[in-house]
């Protein structure tokens, strides 16, 4: 008996020794990263208004920037908010696919597109905030990729709202132009954001924001119109559809998030105090994630409960809408690639 007890104690001692080695193993796997630097230590293109510290050093290895996923810097929360949200979208997609046949049911394809486009914009955003600090070219490249994701999501949302959330009266008013206009405005958003980012140091501040915000605002007004009309109709008729409440929250969270995107609060009121936590862009990220999750939950329920209506309204339009989605995605990607080449040429010329 004593021998057995001693053996157990010996095993516990060995396990305790192994536990003590875990920090050393982690340190060897994740080496100590260089400290973050101040705003004066990075090139102008990386500087954000009212954010004074927490910048990562430029011209490091790709491994360094991937490892900064686990480092505290002024982009950490921006990366994690959208990275975790992208994983949640994947889980939701897998969950929905257990009861919905995305391949064989054409009426399910707009739902798949909005899920795919949500995952795209969230993952591209996480990549942009994680990897853009490597160099000036990387900065533009990854943020242009981010804008492609945003534009794709704009069209995906417009399609899903048009397909599942629309009422018969609004459908009869917009069916002749809605999807094509939504696709054009999505492309215009991509172009405006890419060119605005490329030329922002040569443009007045208001012009830079104009190029980024106005196309997005026009696109949003069109894209959300089926939802707003439905909310208004429900309120006017006194309906008790619980899903309309999800759409209301979706709109409210988006409008609040848009405010924080346009206005650098609270860091403009407290310069240097929000370098790591509490930036307006971080608040924007959190709100837009909540907005997206509300949207998807509402559209998922509309897909199930409003099938007789949208089957009668749309017929075979789903196939054309999917083709337009692919075309819009390609146009946005080519636009971002073209502007990136302009950036690369300008950077080469500057070096020479």
* pLDDT tens readout for residues 160-179: 999 999 999 999 999 999 99
Assigned domain for 95 exists: yes
Where in the sequence is the domain holding 89, given as residue range(s)?
Answer: 76-350
Assigned domain for 128 exists: yes
Assigned domain for 194 exists: yes
CA 304, distance to chain mean position in Å, is 26
Q: Which residues, 6 or more positions from 273, have their beta carbon under 8 angstroms from its beta carbon? A: 267
pLDDT value at position 31? 60
Give the separation between CA 173 and CA 177, rounded to whole angstroms. 9
CATH classification at residue 138: 1.20.1070
Assigned domain for 325 exists: yes
Q: Is 285 known as a binding-site position? A: yes
* 3-state per-residue secondary structure call for the chain: CHHHHHHHHHHHHHHHHHHHHHHHHHHHHCCCCCCCECHHHCCHHHCCCCCCCCECCCCCCHHHHHHHHHCCCCCHHHHHHHHHHHHHHHHHHHHHHCCCCCCCCHHHHHHHHHHHHHHHHHHHHHHHHHHCCCCHHHHHHHHHHHHHHHHHHHHHHHHHHHHHHCCHHHHHHHCCCHHHHHHHHHHHHHHHHHHHHHCCCCCCHHHHHHHHHHHHHHHHHHHCHHHHHHHHHHHHHCCCCHHHHHHHHHHHHHHHHHHHHHCCCCCCCCCCCCCCCCCHHHHHHHHHHHHHHHHHHHHHHHHHHCHHHHHHHHCCHHHHHHHHHHHHHHHHHHHHHHHHHHHHHHHHHHHC
**Dihedral, CA of residue 143, residue 149, residue 154 and residue 159, to nearest 10:** 170
Do 180 and 320 form a contact (C-beta atoms < 8 A)? no
Total domains present in the chain: 1
Tokens 């391949």, residue located: 103
Q: Is 281 known as a binding-site position? A: yes
* pLDDT tens readout for residues 174-215: 999 999 999 999 999 999 999 999 887 777 777 777 888 899
* pLDDT tens readout for residues 277-332: 999 999 999 999 999 999 999 999 999 999 999 999 998 899 999 999 999 999 99
Helix 136-160 and helix 280-305, axial crossing angle in degrees, nearest 10: 30
pLDDT value at position 5? 46
Assigned domain for 341 exists: yes
Assigned domain for 27 exists: no
Tell me if the pTM is above 0.85: yes
Assigned domain for 191 exists: yes
Assigned domain for 112 exists: yes
pLDDT value at position 239? 79
| % of the chain with per-residue pLDDT over 70 | 91
pLDDT value at position 22? 52
Q: Is 201 known as a binding-site position? A: no
CB atoms within 10 A of CB 228: 16
* pLDDT tens readout for residues 53-94: 999 999 999 999 999 999 999 999 999 999 999 999 999 999
| % of the chain with per-residue pLDDT over 90 | 78
| CA distances for 228 relative to 9, 99, 109, 239, 247, angstroms | 68, 29, 23, 15, 8
């Amino acid at each position: 008996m004593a021998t057995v007890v001693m053996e157990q104690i010996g095993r516990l001692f060995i396990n305790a020794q192994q536990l003590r080695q875990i920090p050393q193993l982690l340190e060897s796997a994740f080496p100590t990263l260089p400290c973050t630097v101040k705003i004066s230590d990075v090139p102008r293109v990386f500087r954000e208004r009212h954010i004074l510290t927490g910048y990562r050093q430029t011209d490091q290895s790709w491994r360094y920037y991937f490892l900064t996923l686990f480092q505290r810097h002024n982009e950490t929360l921006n990366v994690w908010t959208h990275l975790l949200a992208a994983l949640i979208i994947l889980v939701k997609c897998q969950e929905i696919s257990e009861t919905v046949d995305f391949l064989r049911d054409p009426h399910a394809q707009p739902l798949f597109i909005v899920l795919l486009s949500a995952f795209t914009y969230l993952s591209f955003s996480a990549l942009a905030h994680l990897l853009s600090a490597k160099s000036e070219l990387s900065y533009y490249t990854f943020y242009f990729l981010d804008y492609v994701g945003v534009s794709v999501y704009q069209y995906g949302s417009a399609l899903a709202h048009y397909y599942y959330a629309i009422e018969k009266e609004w459908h009869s008013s917009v069916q002749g132009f809605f999807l094509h206009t939504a696709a054009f405005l999505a492309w215009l958003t991509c172009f405006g954001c890419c060119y605005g980012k490329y030329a922002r140091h040569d443009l007045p501040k208001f012009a830079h924001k104009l190029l980024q915000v106005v196309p997005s605002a026009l696109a949003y007004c069109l894209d959300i119109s089926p939802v707003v009309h439905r909310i208004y109709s429900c309120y006017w008729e006194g309906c008790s559809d619980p899903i309309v409440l999800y759409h209301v929250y979706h709109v409210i969270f988006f409008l609040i998030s848009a405010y924080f995107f346009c206005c650098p609060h609270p860091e403009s009121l407290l310069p240097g105090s929000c370098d790591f936590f509490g930036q307006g862009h971080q608040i924007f990220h959190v709100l837009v994630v909540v907005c997206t999750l509300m949207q998807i939950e509402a559209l998922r329920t509309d897909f199930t409960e409003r099938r007789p209506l949208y089957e009668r309204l749309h017929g075979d339009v789903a196939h054309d809408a999917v083709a337009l989605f692919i075309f819009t995605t390609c146009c946005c990607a080519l636009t971002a690639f073209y502007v990136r080449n302009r950036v690369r040429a300008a950077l080469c010329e500057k070096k020479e």
